A and B are shown apart, each in its own frame.
Chain A
Amino acid sequence: QSALTQPPSASGSPTQSVTISCTGTSSDIGYYNYVSWYQQHPGKAPKLIISDVTRRPSGVPDRFSGSKSGNTASLTVSGLQADDEADYYCSSYAGNNNLVFGGGTKLTVL
């Protein structure tokens, strides 16, 4: 199963917004609404920030939002803060009892 495609890096200045894309196929993102996003700080475990394409778990700031259009899911981080600097990973159910992750995007807050 091929990994989902994410840009290796993204950046923005404090208070700005940045959007990270996650491109799959009609067999994964395009077919199922089981898209999740994770934030991972260096040396730490991943943290779920978006599930089911748009659902934000309790405790996650509403500055984080998710969406999907066709085979591409997106994570938008609004009002960038220094602590948002981290690696971000998308994942999607890919059918046939398989889960795939994106390669990850390193977000830099300038």
Chain B
Amino acid sequence: QEQLVESGGGVVPPGKLLTLSCGASGFTFSSRAMHWVRQAPGKGLEWVAVISHDGREKYYADSVKGRVTISRDNSKNILYLQINSLRGEDTAVYYCARDRYSYGWGGGDAWGLGTLVTVSS
């Protein structure tokens, strides 16, 4: 069955770098755009970034632009999110989500369970 599994979260000191991964299975990973969406504790959903099916187009929320890099390896069916210079406000559950379309904006029709990132010294 279709599955997305995030990993890489944990407790990280402020200012450090963290890379999250999202492994995909059960569908043709290379045909869909992929998103990262985060949710701070007790708060709503916040879109972070999207990458097109072929990895050529990448777009970021203004709140993370310049500190975050989204990438994908279609040969391994893995999506990545690198976050630099971690701040307290980056503390959240990070979800990867599959878009209905190859270039994004169609809605996330499959989601992982999320991985918790806690920025703390």
A binds B: yes
B113 → chain A closest CB, angstroms? 6
Q: Given the known inter-chain contacts A97-B59, A99-B50, please indicate yes or no for A104 contacting B44, CB distance below 8 A.
A: yes
26 contacts between A and B (CB under 8 A): A1-B62, A3-B44, A32-B105, A34-B106, A36-B107, A38-B108, A40-B45, A45-B95, A45-B112, A45-B113, A45-B114, A46-B37, A46-B111, A48-B107, A48-B109, A51-B107, A89-B44, A89-B45, A91-B47, A98-B47, A99-B50, A99-B105, A101-B37, A101-B46, A101-B47, A103-B44
Q: How far is the CA of A69 from the CA of B57 in the complex (A)?
A: 31
A46 and B47 contact, CB distance less than 8 A: no
Instruction: Provide the residues of chain A in CB contact with B114, threshold 8 Å.
Output: 45
List residues of chain A with CB under 8 Å of any chain B CB. 1, 3, 32, 34, 36, 38, 40, 45-48, 51-52, 57, 89, 91, 93, 97-104
Instruction: Provide the residues of chain A in CB contact with B62, threshold 8 Å.
Output: 1, 98
Q: How far is the CA of A97 from the CA of B65 in the complex (A)?
A: 12
Q: How far is the CA of A45 from the CA of B106 in the complex (A)?
A: 18
Interface pairs A-B: 8 shortest CB-CB: A51-B107, A36-B107, A97-B59, A45-B111, A99-B47, A104-B44, A93-B105, A101-B45
Interface membership of B100, Cβ < 8 A: yes
Q: How far is the CA of A93 from the CA of B95 in the complex (A)?
A: 18
Instruction: Provide the residues of chain A in CB contact with B113, threshold 8 Å.
Output: 45
Q: How far is the CA of A46 from the CA of B98 in the complex (A)?
A: 12
A99 → chain B closest CB, angstroms? 4
Instruction: Provide the residues of chain A in CB contact with B45, threshold 8 Å.
Output: 38, 40, 46, 89, 91, 101, 104
B106 and A98 contact, CB distance less than 8 A: no
Q: How far is the CA of A3 from the CA of B59 in the complex (A)?
A: 17
Q: Across the interface, name the chain A residue whose C-beta is closest to B96.
A: A45
B88 → chain A closest CB, angstroms? 20
A96 → chain B closest CB, angstroms? 9
Q: How far is the CA of A97 from the CA of B105 in the complex (A)?
A: 9
Q: Across the interface, name the chain B residue whose C-beta is closest to A58.
A: B109
Other A-B contacts than A45-B114, A51-B100, A99-B35, 17 sampled, CB-CB below 8 A, are A1-B62, A34-B107, A36-B108, A40-B45, A45-B113, A46-B37, A47-B111, A48-B108, A51-B106, A51-B107, A52-B106, A98-B61, A99-B47, A99-B105, A101-B44, A101-B46, A103-B44
